[in-house]
Amino acid sequence: MEELSSQKTILSGIKPTGQLTIGNYIGAMKNFVKLQNDYETLYMVVDLHALTVPQEPKELRHKTLSIIAQYIAVGLDPEKNNLFIQSHVTGHTELAWILGCMTGLGDLSRMTQFKDKSAKPGANVNAGLYTYPILMASDILLYNADFVPVGEDQKQHVELTRDIAMRFNYRYSDTFTIPEPIIPKSGARIMDLQNPMSKMGKSDSGESGRIALIDEPSLVAKRIKSAVTDSGSEIKFSETDEKAGIRNLLTIYANLTEISIAEIELMYEGKGYGDFKKDLADIVVERLSPIKNRHDDLMKNKDYLEAVLKSGAESAQKKAWKMLSKVYRKVGLVQAVR
Ligand code: ATP
Ligand code: LTN
């Protein structure tokens, strides 16, 4: 990441589909925090994306605000970052329409996230789930983002965004910046604690397979201690499927402490999974407790959160209008007289 120059724009978003997990934190939010000092940063809660799966309206409102509070609680300073809610800015869905008219059905059908989500038993396979990557491309291109910090599962969507942007630029002349994903080398895919062959997801994982940033400390410890491992006993990183559980726990340990995996292996030579899990439970609790406390305080201060959102949306809206009118002009729409 060292080679990134300043003045560039960083943008990312998280869906309010459930409680944020340590997967969201390690794969994406840790990078949001790291990048906040040197770049222009826009971090959204992408509530329109959440509607691709059925949501209870009251809960959706609560989860959306709770994620804004968690953005601040993990260390994003609202003075330095543009924190806002996607639906507060007009332009995301409008640009998505234009981009949708330039995106092939074949491209959308290739998307792994669509294939996975629509193959789930009882899945509600609606048009929004299918066109979701176009809205994501619009989120990114609307602000000319240079870099997009995300976990591994979003790489394909950022690649599609790049293709759409290049297609538009080729057809209508240079308009969009071609964005690049920023994906952490380690921790880009934290796995479900009960099923370490699948990704920990805030809405896809069962309760015992995930840890939320705002879970009670006793629950956090319990989840780590009951994480699935294997019949072995050595604390060693291995790429084999059998070792997926311990590999995932080692990755979580390394990412929350910044101690390298090799060093952790040395620290636990001659010790068993029980000792390792006990220490990891303490580490996760120690790391998450201040986040939970700060979140809980912020949720009692709705006026403050609303002020943050107002200023975030105002400044994002200015940028969005500018880009949208440029795009409308380039594709040949007659300018409205206002
Ligand atoms: P859902 O289960 O509802 O699909 P999710 O937990 O996958 O949600 P998103 O809102 O889709 O979360 O993702 C927010 C960010 O967190 C994205 O950048 C995504 O790549 C990253 N992310 C999500 N899950 C993980 C994970 N298990 N490990 C690392 N990064 C993750
Ligand atoms: N598709 C992403 C969420 C998302 C996003 C974005 C991420 C929507 N818009 C723009 C980065 C940039 C997901 O499912 N995690």
Asked if pLDDT for residue 264 goes beyond 90, the answer is yes
Compute, in angstroms, the gap from residue 187 CA to the centroid of ligand 1.
Answer: 12
Question: Within its chain, how far is the Cα of 178 from the centroid?
Answer: 20
* Mean pLDDT across 231-239: 92
Cα separation, 185 vs 188, whole angstroms: 7
Locate the DSSP E strands across the chain.
9-14, 40-45, 81-85, 147-149, 180-182
**CB burial of residue 1 (10 Å; 0-12, 13-18, 19+):** exposed
Atom of ligand 2 nearest to the CA of 135: 9
Q: Is 138 near ligand 2, meaning CB less than 6 Å away?
A: no
The rounded distance, in Å, linking the Cα atoms of 177 and 57 is 35
Out of 3.40.50.10190, 3.90.1150.10, 1.10.1660.10, 3.40.50.620, the CATH code matching 9-182+301-331 is 3.40.50.620
* pTM confidence score: 0.95
In the chain, what are the domain boundaries? Answer: 9-182+301-331, 207-297
The one-character DSSP state at 241 is: G
As a residue count, the chain comes to 338
Which atom number of ligand 1 is nearest to the Cα of residue 204? 2
How far apart are the C-alpha atoms of 269 and 257, rounded to whole Å?
18
Q: Which of 117, 243, 277, 319 is catalytic?
A: 117
According to CATH, the topology of domain 207-297 is Tyrosyl-Transfer RNA Synthetase (1.10.240)
Average pLDDT over residues 149-167: 98
153 CA → ligand 1 middle, Å: 7
Are the C-beta atoms of 299 and 69 separated by less than 8 Å?
A: yes
pLDDT in tens, 82-101: 999 999 999 999 999 999 99
Asked if residue 178 has pLDDT above 80, the reply is yes
Average pLDDT value for residue range 262-285: 96
Return the pLDDT at 204. Answer: 78
| Three-state SS at 108 | helix
CB 133 near ligand 1, within 6 Å: no
Do the beta carbons of residue 151 and residue 216 sit within 8 Å?
Answer: no
